[in-house]
Structure 1
Amino acid sequence: MVSQGKQVWSEDPDKLDPKSPIIKRHKILCTLPWRGFLVPSPGASLGNRSVVQNVSSILVFTLSGLDGTVENKYVLFSLTALCYNFVLLCNITVIFSITSDKCLHEPMYIFLCNLCINALYGTAGFYPKFMYDLLSQLHVISYAGCLIQIFVIYSSALCDFSTLTVMAYDRYAAICRPLEYHSEMTNHKIVKFIIFSWFAPLFCIAVLVLLTSRLALCGSNIEKIYCENWAVVKLACSSTTVNNVIGYIVLVVYFGHAVLIVGSYIQLIETCRKSKESRYKFMQTCTPHILTLLNVAISLMFDVLYSRYGSNSFPRGLRIFLALDFLLMPPILNPLIYGLTLTKIRKQMLQECKVQDYKTDEQFLSTGHQTCEHLTHYLFPPPTLNWYDKISKFFAVLH
């Protein structure tokens, strides 16, 4: 897609014939927004037999992960649209259930609400573009759009992990130190935790995207169905040492998150062995957290391993699944796990459904009652007085 390593030799550029093949080719390349083009460097000499330096400029990337899916594109589009609507429904339902009930305005449920909001944020960076590509003949994305997609998708993934770390600390404080829990988990501290769960991922991914944007690229083909940071870095012509170092630092930081989670659960298990009430509380509130944590961690591990060490020899279906796993599974399973296992949320969701059904039934019965009255009045009109009865009544009044 990009012209690489090609040189244009010319005499004085002002004397070039406009109809020459070089000028025609340059015009064609400039009219195609996804092509590379040749730009003379500011200090280049244009004397006899001088070289115009070649600088590749990537304006559009090609996403080749969807190649070969043309035959099933409508089926895939229908399944993807159904999946995205299901993600929106599940997460918005949990968010509305928590925000509408004051009894659920507790730290654990507030962090869960933050997890669902982050799921909406992350899926918005992938599903609309993916559905558009399924129906499009050209699977391309602009350079700026690619960097934005990287930022949104991976900041959302890291935000999931940060939120789960905060939730693990919350469960540790609630079960291991129940007497100090309410004095420790104040509203001010909850706000700090939420800011941390968003600021740390946004900052880390912003640094990685800025480092990627400074690289000179020698290609424009990304062998995935969405933009991924390491896939863009592999296209670089220059050294990527700084990108690798910062990337490993981010991995170490979030490995530290995992150590904190494991440490908190070791303390939780030791505490729960001493009390039956603690064991019940652990099973009720920590089980969904563990399932969600495993879901997110395994999905991210698949994505990292596939990005770094994946091979094109894998079947196409397996490659698409590995690419979609962390974008598909956590946003769907997280609200389902919490919605089905946490009693308060489940009761609130069922209560909302019952209230809506009651309102609908009441409106239906009221409308039906009015309709029956009109129909009865039309079929069986009330009796009216004829002239003989009116005259008889008149004389009776006079008498």
Structure 2
Amino acid sequence: MENGTMPSYFYFTLFKDFFHLRYFLVIVTLSVYFSILLFNVIILYVVFKERRLHEPMYILISCLSVNDLFGSTGFFPRLIIDILSNTNVISRSACFVQIYIIYTYAISEYTILSLMAYDRYVAICNPLKYHKTMTSKVITLYIVIASLYAMFSMGLAIFFSARLPLCGTDIARLYCSNWSVVRLSCGVSTSTNNIMGFLVTTTTVFLPALFILYTYVKILIICQKSSKEFRGKALQTCLPHIVSFVNYSIASFCDIALSRYDSDKYKIAGIVFSVEFLVLPAVFNPLIYGLNLPEIRKHILCLFRRSKIAHFPCK
């Protein structure tokens, strides 16, 4: 088919294979979504309620929770609707809105993790300059720049994708993705889209990942030259971030690798990996930081009136 059109709707083709399990899937999906909401809202409440937590590291942790809530809200409500639907139709505009939300979340996740790595780098490698370097104004400026770049880069990518004439309407995923729309194009070259995708991926995934690895190599070198007590404190604050970074990197890599590979033989695995980068970070990030950072853990215990059995006082 050489002459493409601009279809008004897209059709998700995966849901029909699991229609007989739709009520079970709705229960599982709602459980996961409510868990994400609960865990991240608790982190946000504790950080903003306690003035002693109004420091760069905890502010960035709260930004991570806000971003996880943003990405999850762009995915789960629509997923529940599609599970219960008989047609699994999504309008063109809603599809591109979903792409924008999910991929802006994905880009922001890496930029926030990069800022957190820089915060730990300054705190451990240049502790005397930390309070001058990492001020509230500086952190706010970094967050604003990172957010604006994520919104601009994804807006530009969607602009090029939305102009493509399409020869199909079937999307073999649980949600709209940029590549799933681009691959439906016909009659025109997609080289511009490929170049744009490469630039966005390089600047928002690979460069931040390299920067994070660089900061932790520097931190490791400093720790090797320091006392055992210093290494223990550094590890305590860095370990949650390292776990978050590794978890998100693996999840996002699986999505990128599988987004261009279709196989009915591995359909279940493909579905799981395609949503892993949306689900795992949003569930595990608040648990990782809530359980591993003493200040947050202490205030969470106080929040649930369990301070009497905790080893940390409320005040």
2:264 aligns with 313
1:291 aligns with 243
Deviation at 1:311, TM superposition (A): 2.4
1:342 aligns with 293
Backbone CA RMSD of aligned residues: 1.5
| Pairs within 5 Å for 1:28-177 | 56-177=5-126
2:234 aligns with 282
1:327 matches 2:278: yes
Q: Residue 175 of structure 1 contacts residue 278 of structure 1 at CA under 8 Å; is this kept in 2?
A: no
**Which structure: greater helix fraction?**
2
The alignment partner of 2:10 has SS state of strand
Gaps of 5+ in 2: 309-315
Alpha-carbon separation, structure 1, partners of 2:256 and 2:192: 18
Deviation at 1:315, TM superposition (A): 2.8
Gaps of 5+ in 1: 6-53, 358-399
Alpha-carbon separation, structure 2, partners of 1:56 and 1:273: 61
TM-score (norm 2): 0.94
Deviation at 1:55, TM superposition (A): 6.1
The alignment partner of 2:90 has SS state of strand
2:163 aligns with 214
Deviation at 1:274, TM superposition (A): 1.5
Deviation sequence 1:347-396 (CA, Å, 0-9, x none): 00111111899xxxxxxxxxxxxxxxxxxxxxxxxxxxxxxxxxxxxxxx
2:211 aligns with 260
1:60 alignment partner AA = Y
1:350 alignment partner AA = L
Q: Residue 117 of structure 2 contacts residue 216 of structure 2 at CA under 8 Å; is this kept in 1?
A: yes
- Larger relative contact order (CA 8 Å, sep ≥ 6): 2
1:14 aligns with none
2:143 alignment partner AA = I
2:154 aligns with 205
1:141 alignment partner AA = I
1:194 aligns with 143
Quickly say closer, same or farther: Cα 1:258–1:55, change in 2 above 3 A.
closer
Alpha-carbon separation, structure 2, partners of 1:296 and 1:94: 19
Alpha-carbon separation, structure 2, partners of 1:142 and 1:172: 45
Rg comparison, structure with higher value: 1
Question: Please, which of 198, 220, 228 is the counterpart of residue 248 of structure 1?
Answer: 198
Alpha-carbon separation, structure 2, partners of 1:131 and 1:356: 38
Alpha-carbon separation, structure 2, partners of 1:213 and 1:55: 13
- Percent identity over the alignment? 36
Question: Please, which of 116, 120, 128 is the counterpart of residue 179 of structure 1?
Answer: 128
Alpha-carbon separation, structure 2, partners of 1:154 and 1:108: 24
Alpha-carbon separation, structure 2, partners of 1:185 and 1:290: 20
Alpha-carbon separation, structure 2, partners of 1:356 and 1:132: 41
Q: Greater CA deviation, 276-285 or 220-229?
A: 276-285
Alpha-carbon separation, structure 2, partners of 1:291 and 1:57: 43
Deviation at 1:156, TM superposition (A): 0.2
Alpha-carbon separation, structure 2, partners of 1:222 and 1:271: 49
Q: Residue 4 of structure 2 contacts residue 185 of structure 2 at CA under 8 Å; is this kept in 1?
A: no
Q: Residue 40 of structure 2 contacts residue 66 of structure 2 at CA under 8 Å; is this kept in 1?
A: yes
Q: Residue 10 of structure 2 contacts residue 170 of structure 2 at CA under 8 Å; is this kept in 1?
A: yes
